[in-house]
Amino acid sequence: MNAVATAVVRRESLWSKAFYKFSRDRTGMISLVFVLFYMLIALGVTLGWLASDWSDVQGGKWEGMSMTYWFGTNMIGQDIFSRAIYSTKTAFEVGLVVALIATAVGAVIGAISGFFSGSWIDEVLLWLMGVLDSIPFYLFVAAIVFAMQESPYAMHVAMISTFWTGSSRLVRGEVIKLRGLEYVEAAHAIGVPELTIIFRHILPNTTHILLVQATITFVAAIKSEVILSFLGLGVKDGMSWGLMIAESSQEVMAGFFNNFLAASVLMFGLVMAFNMFSDALQDALDPRKVS
């Protein structure tokens, strides 16, 4: 068996053992069920099956909980439960877009930086990561929002521009270890182009790192979206938990907490479930623990 085939077998063995370990992790499986439940809610909203009336004025001002309005109504009579459910879609949209793009960008840049470690390419990329990491996140977002003239995608661009550095540093360290293995040296020896070696033979072996990092970035994106929307720098067209919390700041002063509680409870449930899922996934995919 040649070196490349050996690497493929090892990768398949890692995934099969990780799947077995994760399936026996009770906390991980429970958190996965919760994440899938939230995902189904987001899908239902996207397809128009749920919370399609989130913006309609249906009741009176600050109505209490009832069979008609499960979390009551807000200041202008909108159903708080529908708005909170609709915000689940917003959270998943932002989380998935930012996590997938930021992780992909970080993987590519980190792989190139690690493969050419010690060269001017590596130095330039490390300098770029250092510059982006040194800029205060919310000031950077405000600058991008101003530069993009209130574009609804300014928040996404800002988060992607900063979140990729974490994935990049992890992939860089892993690639530095992988580039000295036999199958990489064998590919060099038979004249395989360097970019082919990076993207075909090395980067696939960092998938376990990228998967865990994507889940971490997903949670970070959701929390950042809530904060940015609360500050007026996030969601512009639609509804999110951050906008609901911002709206509730006036209601809390009047003794009405339903808006705040609905957004906070749903956000806490998703973030907690995804954090637990990420921890279980990291344990299952850790090569040092998979035996």
> In the predicted model, is pLDDT for residue 4 greater than 60?
no
For residue 240, count CB atoms less than 10 angstroms from its CB and return exposed for 0-12, middle for 13-18, buried for 19 or more: buried
Amino acid (1-letter code) at residue 209:
I
Residue 8 has pLDDT above 60, yes or no: no
Q: Who's near 244: CB < 8 A, 6+ residues apart?
A: 80, 83, 84, 87, 259, 260, 262, 263
**Which is nearest to 205 in space by CA: 223, 225, 180?**
180
- Give pTM, 2 decimals: 0.86
Q: Single out the residue of 264, 277, 284 nearest to residue 39, CA to CA.
A: 277
CA–CA distance from 86 to each of 27, 63, 179 (Å)? 27, 20, 46
Taking the C-alpha atoms of residue 248 and residue 260, their distance in angstroms, rounded to an integer, is 5
- Give residues with Cβ within 8 angstroms of 281, minimum separation 6: 22, 28, 211, 212, 215
Q: What is the pLDDT of residues 18-63, one digit of tens each?
A: 777 878 888 889 999 999 999 999 999 999 898 888 878 887 777 7
CB contact at 8 A, 182 and 4: no
Per-residue pLDDT of 207-237, as tens digits, reads 888 988 999 999 999 998 898 888 887 887 7
CATH 1.10.3720.10 corresponds to the domain 3-29+80-285 = yes
Enumerate residues 6+ apart whose C-beta is below 8 A from 197.
Answer: 115, 184, 187, 188
Task: For the chain, give every domain's residue range.
Answer: 3-29+80-285
Tens of pLDDT, residues 59-97 = 777 777 878 888 888 888 888 889 999 999 999 999 999
Spell out a b/e string for 179-202, using b for 16 or more CB atoms within 10 Å of the CB, else e: beeebbeebeeeeeeeeebbeebb
